[in-house]
Amino acid sequence: MKKNRLIPVILLKNGWIVQSKNFSQYQNLGNPVTIVKRLSQWASDELIYLDISDDDNYDTRRDDQGYANRGDFLSVIEDVSKEAFMPITVGGKIRTIKDIENRLSVGADKVCLNTMAIQDPSFINEASREFGSQCIVISIDVKLTSKKYNVFATGGSKKTKFSPKELSKIVEDNGAGEILINSIDKDGKGDGFDLTLINQITDCVSIPVIACGGAGEWSHFSEVFEKTDAEAVAAANIFHYVDQSVFLAKKHLYDNGFNVRKPDLIKIDNYRI
């Protein structure tokens, strides 16, 4: 049986890692490499690294943090890949097959598609044939409007014609390997995942579903694995404010009998971090 996965999400906005709330409020958390190194040492199963910058300006205007100030996203990912001990999924501004190739060439293991997958689902098929379906993750951002779930594109700013169930079936049919389902309403709230939304998606597709949006305590992860068929849970904010956060979250799951890898902090140079 496949192990359930615990996946931190990193949001990069113009050179800085940020905390998000409702896809509209952002708080600076630090430089793009240090946080990744810490999450890697805490035994994350995977990492999702998303570029949510509005433009191509990645200048942090800081040269005093022991990190080389990079001017483009690919250089950032190349730096990050050197510090990561787990698979990395990279998303943001992917429009062509060449964009995917470029991200894989600098250290990404998978790519995450969002707006392009909505605009042209055939692109998913092309990408999965070129790189393998296991490499293609589709991020679906969902918001309740008039008591109905609707898919939003372009960083959650534009409502689309799709329901999350409709789009999930489309991306699966076009060769997607996984779906990252993200609740905009729950983003940054810390009051738990939208279990109804997650169940809608897992009930209509056979590919793995990663649940995201709403984690505020370790028990929220338990609820997802207990009450839905999601294969993984992803979160951003909760992992940035507690020392050894991923390890502690995984320990909570493991100690309560959930099917996760045994938690262990990564050893580097014979020292336990």
Q: Which amino acid, 173?
A: D
What are 12-49's pLDDT values in tens digits? Answer: 887 777 766 655 556 565 677 888 888 888 889 999 99
Average pLDDT, the chain: 88
Radius of gyration of the chain (CA): 18
Sign for the CA dihedral angle at 49, 52, 57, 58 comes to negative
Q: What's the pLDDT score for residue 165?
A: 97
Q: What's the pLDDT score for residue 269?
A: 42
Backbone phi and psi for residue 103, each to the nearest 5 degrees, phi listed first: -70, -40
Across residues 135-156, what is the average pLDDT?
Answer: 94
Q: Which amino acid, 96?
A: T
- Residue 137 CA: distances (Å) to CA of 89, 125, 234: 8, 12, 13
Per the model's pLDDT, the better-predicted residue between 74 and 272 turns out to be 74
195-204 and 218-227 helices cross at what angle (nearest 10)?
40
Q: What's the pLDDT score for residue 239?
A: 87
pTM of the model: 0.90
Sign for the CA dihedral angle at 214, 216, 221, 222 comes to negative
| Across 64-78, 111-125, 181-195, least confident range | 64-78
Q: What's the pLDDT score for residue 240?
A: 80
Angle in degrees, CA 79, 80, 84, rounded to 5: 130
Q: Is 195 exposed, middle or buried (0-12, 13-18, 19+ CB in 10 A)?
A: middle
Q: What's the pLDDT score for residue 250?
A: 94
Complete domains list, the chain, with CATH:
5-272 (3.20.20.70)
SS3 at position 1: coil
Query: How many residues are recorded in the chain?
Result: 273
Within 10 A of 237 (CB to CB), how many other CB atoms are there?
21
Q: Which amino acid, 158?
A: K
* Alpha-carbon span 271 to 6, nearest angstrom: 24
Per the model's pLDDT, the better-predicted residue between 264 and 204 turns out to be 204
Across residues 179-185, what is the average pLDDT?
Answer: 96
pLDDT at residue 153 is higher than 80:
yes
